[in-house]
Amino acid sequence: MKAHMEAHGMSTEDAKQKHRAYVGGMFDEIGELQFDFLKDQGLQEHHCLLDVACGSLRLGHHAIKYLDKARYIGFDHNAWLIEEGIKKELGINWLIQKAPLFIVNDTFNLGEINGNPTYAMCHSLFTHLTKDDIIKCLTSLNRFRWTMVFATFNVGDRAAIRRTRTTTTPSTITSIR
Ligand SMILES: C[S@@+](CC[C@H](N)C(=O)[O-])C[C@H]1O[C@@H](n2cnc3c(N)ncnc32)[C@H](O)[C@@H]1O
C-alpha cells in the first residue's frame, strides 16, 4: 500500500489528508467561516440544517456538534468523503450522540428527509455543476419551506452576458439566467 502511494507521488501524510484536499483545502478556515456565517444569519441549536454537498464535513463537523440531536442532514454523491469526514473530523462519539442523517446519491433525491429543514448551505457546489444539475438541485430543495438557503457561485463575465443579451432572442436570454 505504502509503495503504491509513493509510486503515485502521494506520501502517507497526503493520503491521510486526501479528504481535506478534495474539498478544496483551507479545511479549518473555510469550515469555521461557513459555520460562523450561519450562526450570524440566525442558525440556532434547535434549527435543522441541510448541508448540500457536505463532502468530508468541513462545515458538518462544527454544525453537528452545535446542533441538537438529529438536526443535521448531510447530502453528497461521494460516500467515501462522508465516511472519511466522520472518521477523521467528527468522531464516532459525536456521531452516536448527535445522530446526523446522511443521504448519498447523484440525483439530488432528498426523499429520505422527513420533516422540514429550515437552513441550507450549498457551498462550493454550483461551481462544479452543469446548469441542468443546478436546476435539478434547486427543484429538489423547492419542496421545503426554508428560512434561509445560501449558495456560493461564480459571477459570470458580465460583458459576455451583455453581448449575449444583445445578440440573441429573448428565449435564449432566459436560458442563460
Ligand atoms: C468543493 S467540494 C465542497 C464540499 C463542502 N460543501 C465544503 O464546503 O467542504 C464539492 C462537493 O460537491 C460534491 N458534489 C459534486 N457534484 C455533486 C452531485 N452531482 N451531487 C452531490 N454532490 C456533488 C462533491 O462530492 C464534493 O463533496
| Percent of the chain whose predicted confidence (pLDDT) is above 70 | 82
Domain residues for the domain of 130 are: 31-176
Q: Is the pLDDT of residue 170 over 70?
A: no
Note the helical H segments in the chain. 2-7, 12-16, 18-22, 27-40, 60-66, 79-85, 92-98, 131-141, 158-167, 170-176
Given the CA of residue 121, which atom of ligand 1 is nearest to it? 6
CATH code assigned at 43? 3.40.50.150
| CA 110 to mean position of chain CA atoms | 14
| pTM given for the model | 0.86
pLDDT at 114 over 60: yes
Q: What is the pLDDT of residue 73?
A: 98
Q: Note whether residue 87 is domain-resident.
A: yes
How many structural domains is the chain composed of?
Answer: 1
Measure 170 CA to ligand 1 centroid, in angstroms: 33
55 in helix, strand or coil? coil
Residue 77 resides in a domain: yes
Q: What is the tens place of the pLDDT at every residue in 150-162?
A: 999 888 777 776 7
Within a domain: 53: yes
Distance from Cα 77 to the centre of ligand 1, integer Å: 7
Render pLDDT for 8-29 as a digit per residue (tens, 0 to 9): 455 666 767 999 999 999 999 9
Mean pLDDT confidence for 130-158: 93
> Which residue's CA is minimally distant from atom 12 of ligand 1?
53
Does the C-beta of 74 come closer than 6 Å to ligand 1?
A: no
Looking at ligand 1, which residue's alpha carbon is closest to its atom 13? 53
